[in-house]
Structure 1
Amino acid sequence: MLKRFYPNEYANSSYVINYEELYQKGFRGILFDVDNTLVSHGAKADDKAKELITKLKNIGFKVCLISNNKEERVRTFNDEVQVQYIFNARKPSRKGYQQAMNTIGTNKENTIFIGDQIFTDVFGANRAGLKTILVKPIHPKEEIQIVLKRYLEKIVLYFYKKSQNKKD
């Protein structure tokens, strides 16, 4: 039952993922959550985020931000990185992920999703048939509803890590 919440991979940060390897494996689209995945909650795009997005574009990736936030939040971040974006995506619904792939012209076979939350980001992307990478949240300061979900996420992560050890 918990497996539907498991990511395909777990990374310390969006900034340590080997994107060149993903491109070599045939991935062409990357969907990113914004808050606590690329920057701390509510922050504007910093130099690190701008450099990452530029690097991804130079590799050849099409990038789309997919967020449950309102348009103003996502647009303000996007003003600095200039990619496509979907706001009010209603994650974990499949529709936002599908809309993002349609927007950048990719499909579930060549698109990867990267986010920091299990019950919205990873679960929704798994439901949409995408490869998923869960990253550790950038900053511990979060909205109360997210803080509460983090306790449940710890349980899922415990069993996920245990299942990964069995594979080794």
Structure 2
Amino acid sequence: MLERFFPDEYISSTYAIPFDRLYEEGYRGIIFDIDNTLVPHGAPADERAKQLFRDLKELGYSCCLLSNNQEPRVKMFNEEIGVPYIFNAHKPAGKNYRRAMQLMGTDRNTTLFVGDQLFTDVWGAKRSGIRNILVRPIHPKEEIQIVLKRYLEKIVLHFYLKKKKKLV
């Protein structure tokens, strides 16, 4: 039962993902969560995030930001990034994952999702049929509703890592 929440991959940081290799595998679009995936919660785009998007565009990727935050937060982050975005996305509902693919001109087979939460980000991507990568949260400071979900995530990740170890 918990396996429905298992990520396709679990990587320490968005900035450690081998995007060039994934491009060679045929991926052309990346949907990103923002808070604690690209920057600490509520922070503007920092130089590392800006450089990531410059590099991704140079590789040939289309990108889209998908956030449950309201527009002022998402718009502020995106000012110097300049990619399509969807705010108030209602993740894990699949509607806006599909809309993000439309905005990028990609499909389920050519799209990746990168996020830091199992029960919103990863589960929504899985429900939408998109390959997903879970990353560790950038910063421990989070809103209370997220803190509570993190306790449940630890349980799921324990079983995910245990299963993964058995496969190796």
- The TM-score normalised by the length of structure 1 is 0.99
Distance 2:116 2:134 in 1: 5
How far 1:14 sits from its partner (Å)?
A: 0.2
Distance 2:66 2:147 in 1: 20
How far 1:166 sits from its partner (Å)?
A: 1.2
What corresponds to 1:117 in structure 2? 117
Task: Give 1:37-56 correspondences, 5 Å limit.
Answer: 37-56=37-56
Q: Deviations over 1:114-167 (max 9, x none)?
A: 000000000000000000000000000000000000000000000000111111
What corresponds to 1:157 in structure 2? 157
What corresponds to 2:134 in structure 1? 134
One-letter amino acid of the structure 1 residue matched with residue 92 of structure 2 = P
One-letter amino acid of the structure 1 residue matched with residue 10 of structure 2 = Y
Moved over 2 A (4+): none
Distance 2:88 2:100 in 1: 12
DSSP 3-state at the match of 1:109: helix
Distance 2:66 2:95 in 1: 11
Distance 2:101 2:71 in 1: 18
What corresponds to 2:101 in structure 1? 101
What corresponds to 1:27 in structure 2? 27
How far 1:80 sits from its partner (Å)?
A: 1.4
What corresponds to 1:77 in structure 2? 77
DSSP 3-state at the match of 2:65: strand
Distance 2:143 2:112 in 1: 26
Could you tell me which runs of 5 or more consecutive residues in structure 1 were left unpaired when the two chains were aligned: none
Distance 2:95 2:4 in 1: 17
DSSP 3-state at the match of 1:41: coil
Could you tell me which runs of 5 or more consecutive residues in structure 2 were left unpaired when the two chains were aligned: none
Distance 1:6 1:132 in 2: 10
Aligned-pair Cα RMSD in Å: 0.4
What corresponds to 1:36 in structure 2? 36
Q: Deviations over 1:32-71 (max 9, x none)?
A: 0000000000000000000001000000000000000001
DSSP 3-state at the match of 1:36: coil
Distance 2:167 2:130 in 1: 21
One-letter amino acid of the structure 2 residue matched with residue 39 of structure 1 = V
